[in-house]
Structure 1
Amino acid sequence: MTATTTDRNRTEPALPVARGPISAALIATLAAPHEPSPDVSQVQEADPYGDDLQVALYTLYEMHYRGFAGVAEDREWDPELMPLRRALEERFLGALRADVPGRDVDTVFGGLLLESDDHRDGVAHYLEHEGEVGQIREYAALRSLYHLKEADPHVWVIPRLRGRAKAGMAAVEYDEFGAGRAENVHARLFAELMADLGLETRYGHYLDAAPAPALAVVNVMTLFGLRRALRGALVGHFACVEVTSSPGSRRLAAAMRRTGAGPAAERFYTEHVEADAVHEQVVRREVIGGLLADEPHLEADVAFGADVTVFLENRLAAHLLKAWRAGKPALLRRPTDDGSPTQAGRPCPSGRPEA
């Protein structure tokens, strides 16, 4: 998104550009509190994976992170906005439950763990072997919506766990936040990656460039994080990310070397190759194992969280690869210009996440 250029030290991004009637009404009421609250009746007709709903949900969720310039901090829990948030969440969550079949934990993670590193249909493999610098910059701009707050959504689950699960989750999060060293916080490492690629490192800067499939990937983390009832799904999501991260990060590190992106760009992914190989074991054995030992009834939720991660990542991968293979930008605008919007791709088959 575009922030004002007069204050380079501000930490709050500007409100995003609306992409439909729901997001337009929400942004209007956040910008001018005297505006009426958005009409929730429109939500049931909205595409649950579409731009309007995902921008509106992202905007509401961002109030729990950095907020927005010019929006009062106490609007984070404004009771007049809660009906809209609940309606948006239920529409999104209802679609996910309909589109992602129920499975058991062993089936889900058995497939993920057995997957070969030689995964030739994903974004990481494409960038490693074919990706151009412009496509790598697009990918980094898009991923910045999460990586500049990396691990933050998952912290919400820690107070909801106990014993082995809590200890294991805290250990992994400690590494994500730099193991006590500010210069090693993963969000900071990603900002350095972006600087190597000549991208703007300001938090939230590329929101208006991100297509709906990218917003859905980020939104689902906060959806799971803010609902105690979905703590099992958040653990499943986190575990899926950690289990699948190391092979993809290895390919992305190779892509950075091949294109000469820079040492900080390569370091970010190299760090994840090493760290996530260890995290995979801790999350699988201690976090999931500990949670299900304490609360075995959450097994279906853990599996659901992992399968949702795969489903949404594959929708995003489909969008990116369709655009890149057609020689078109994958973002609504390139990091350096104001190009025309592109169309979202269709979902990939379920399986392992392809990004």
Structure 2
Amino acid sequence: MKEFGYQRVFDVSGALALLDADPGARVLGGGTNLVDLMKAGVERPARLVDVRELPLGRIEPTADGGLHIGATVTNSDLAAHPDVRRHYPALAQAVLAGASGQLRNMATVGGNLLQRTRCGYFADVTRACNKRVPGSGCSAVEGEHRNHAILGASAHCVAVHPSDMAVALAAFDAVVSYETTGGPGELPLTGFYLPVGDTPHLETALPRGALITGVTLPPAPASARSRYRKVRERASYAFAIGSVAAALDVRDGVIRDARLALGAVASRPWRATAAERALTGAQPGAEVFAAAADAELAAAEPLPHNGYKVTLMRNLVVAVLTELAEEAAR
């Protein structure tokens, strides 16, 4: 492992000063992803700025009835918080599905948003990877890609985003807050992650030297009736091969609002806007749900060995929406 500097900070201004002064510095939260990549030689920061002691560890209601989640809130605390469980249950379910208890105790909300892909070629410094070394090629296109992207990929990268939490946040129209030395800023989660295009090494729209300070969830009637479902290759802790975060607001037998995001199918959490349009104003039912899934998956471009994901995601969307509709009818 390359030698690196380490400094713990206790205020946001101190963290920003270090990040601004050293382009090779990286933010350290729980370290559950970054430290592993440092051991593998994938990440080689000159300095780690430890932000765990920043005053960003609270979950608080907003004035309009939403919820603000600080960047250093641990995944365990997020999943256990009564307001999250009551008003955004799919978020709590996503966090609990995302990792073992030990990892959830360490991992932070800000760090979860910034975790890197779990593609095996990205983690292997002997193989070509445009995300790790721009211009080197993508080994997965002609290699092992069974669990890779079917939506929004390119010839330059077919890896998927690994976060479960971010899929639920995308469905809930979450907004990411950040600070820079030039002042604060915000990004909607749907614009936080960049399309992969021909620059897969550019993953987020955060300005250089920015520090994530929190995530805000707006109020929405649909959010309280929501669900996260994850499919993985083994029952124990594992990354998704497909996941769905969904919410339905059904009144008088009509879908008034639908929220749907897909995970493990693209380089970023995939907000299923085509499916949402097909659902809104319709009467809930299996045929409507299947048509909505088909509308979203019409854009899928599977690789030779991951076409199964199209069928998997169609069935998963229908199953989750059916459960939510049955719950609404009780």
Q: TM-score, normalised by structure 2?
A: 0.28
Q: More helix per residue: 1 or 2?
A: 1
